Amino acid sequence: MTLNDINSPADLKKLSVGELQPVADELRSYIINTLSTHPGHLASSLGTVELTVALHYVFNTPDDKLIWDVGHQAYGHKILTGRRDAFQTIRTYGGISGFPKRSESPYDAFGTGHSSTSISAALGMAIASKLQGNTQRKHIAVIGDGSLTGGEAFEALNNVGTSKSNIIVILNDNGISIDKAVGGLNGYLLKITSSPRYNKLKEQVWQKLDNRESSKSFFRRLTSVAKAIALGSNNLFESLGIRYFGPVDGHNIEQLVNTLQRLKDINGPTLLHVVTRKGRGLRQAEQNPIAYHAPGFFDAETGRQIQAPSSGAQPLKYQEVFGRTIIELAEQNPAIVGITPAMATGCSLNLMMDCMPHRVFDVGISEQHAVTFAAGLAAQGMVPFCNIYSSFAQRAYDQIIHDVALQGLPVVLCLDRAGLVGDDGPTHHGVFDLAALRPVPGITICAPSNEHELRNMMYTAQLPGHGPFVIRYPRGASVNADWQNPMVELEIGKGHRVKEGSDVAFLALGHSVNDALAAAADLQRDNISAAVYDMRFLKPLDTGLLDTIAQQGYRRIITVEDGVQLGGFGESVMEYFAEHHPEQISLTRILAIPDSFITHGSVAQLKSDCHIDKQALISAAHES
């Protein structure tokens, strides 16, 4: 049987255990070949191929519930559960999602995309099954890619141990999230996996079990002794009331199947520690799992990444401008430090790590901790630049309010990947930050229209006298190749007109200013004169500039933003007009993200769907 013959886990179960590795090998090759031309999250799923095959072979999915933490690990799962042919469409507009999605397949028991949620979800499902009288169903949470460092995972483990529920936690230990795993837990797991005495005794256990199927009690006694001897203290998980098994080789499919079959018959919460290699099967991905987490296009045979052809100097990504600018500022201001929750490479704080390692802190996947840690630094006179992806910052909302804003601490919160992010879809679109943070007292919120504005905002934020300061910017390329402008202080809460016009006015925030400028240029050919205003700040809003705009006699005022409409920039303008210039209400049109979750696809396609692109601005300007 080949991979083409497997349309569901039922087909997989027709094979003998000895026939599973060829299927796993073919599955790995299929992932590599497909993602070489249809980019996605490569290295994580390569590391879980054998584990995926073993889980669907042993358990009765979808009745048994399988929850994949984060979702980066789940490509093999998608292929084995009826989506082999559709896998070619992954992360493309109209295609399948890059993450587990309940509406996509009954095998996707729980939607994921952010980390550290799988154990909580699996426990909720296990309790539900128990209350519904189903005591046989198993609930398996596969947590890896550094997700165990997330606080929610520990909260869930603490609850799991007292629940007595039929939940199996699979700890996929690959020593890395996107960047290298950090912190005490990683060291603890390394101690377990590298202990010679423990692994020697564990091997003896497996030999005994291979010959004696009825020796589960021997297995439990001997592994407990082994763990005590090897580790010299109680096992972390067992101290929480969760029976710990492992570590086992995550690429030995027969061992995985045998182990899972035995764990399946044990009632109550258990944890299996599986050691895998991220990027397994592609040499370049194994050697550089950070670069191959999501490598873009690459050669399936050689593994070499393929770069798009370039014609002359290109604008840097906003992320690179941030990474280089914070170094400039830190060289001038010794109080500046950088903080990232496991995204150093993605946000370019790795550049500062290289030259100022003692002033950059990767705190692991722990956004809540990152914000309060930044608050503690600020309380002692430091100037922390805490860089968090916009959608991930949602997890630290309370800390932003309670620990930063309430105390007026000068934390600079840089919200990367703001706006529509494209192929990662609704779990990663950074569209809620403006509306969520706007009501919080004492926070300055701004968004740069280009890399020069980003640098000026970063420079302004680190100057004395400012409280909490939010700078949000999008994923990807900025505007100008000559990014390194001399930085100047911006007046807080002040926007400016970047193009004159007399017929209509575009009021834009952030990168949307560039769409407004492009639309204004096209409208000029239609003899429509469009003014463009870069508002710069959502909070405080430049009400003086709004007064000026209201007095210009424009026949149409159009606001545009890459955030949700409800509570966002456009509505803040409308609120001001309603109170101070009510005659402008009928003339004003808001272009923003609608009240729905936006699918995955190219940024251009999604902006068109949401009516916030250049063409939408042109159409709005033509309205009578």
Residues 613, 620: Cα–Cα separation, whole Å: 11
Residues 266, 165: Cα–Cα separation, whole Å: 11
Catalytic: which of 367, 451, 453, 561?
367
Which has the closest alpha carbon to 306: 603, 98, 36, 32?
Answer: 36
Neighbours of 498 (CB within 10 A): 17
What sign results for the dihedral spanned by CA atoms 163, 192, 183, 239?
positive
String of DSSP letters for 136-200: S--EEEEEETTGGGSHHHHHHHHHHHHH---EEEEEEE-SBSSSB--SHHHHHHHHHHH-HHHHH
Residues 436, 400: Cα–Cα separation, whole Å: 11
Tokens 């609850």 correspond to: 159
| Phi and psi, residue 337, nearest 5° | -135, 160
Angle at 405 between CA 402 and CA 409, to 5 degrees: 115
Residues 57, 143: Cα–Cα separation, whole Å: 19
**Catalytic residue list contains 555:** no
| Phi and psi, residue 590, nearest 5° | -100, 125
Structure tokens at 557: 């005022």
Residues 285, 295: Cα–Cα separation, whole Å: 9
Catalytic: which of 65, 78, 138, 278?
278
Helix (H) or strand (E) holding 274: strand 270-275
Which has the closest alpha carbon to 454: 315, 360, 313?
Answer: 315
**Catalytic residue list contains 278:** yes
Tokens 């600018």 correspond to: 325
Which has the closest alpha carbon to 181: 262, 80, 293?
Answer: 293
**Catalytic residue list contains 579:** no
CA distances from 506 to 111, 422, 503, 551 (A): 38, 24, 10, 15
Which has the closest alpha carbon to 325: 421, 461, 445, 417?
Answer: 461
Which has the closest alpha carbon to 79: 142, 24, 14, 143?
Answer: 24
Residues 391, 60: Cα–Cα separation, whole Å: 34
CB neighbour class for 608 (10 Å; exposed up to 12, middle 13-18, buried from 19): middle
Catalytic: which of 395, 455, 539, 614?
395
Catalytic positions, written as ranges: 278, 367, 395
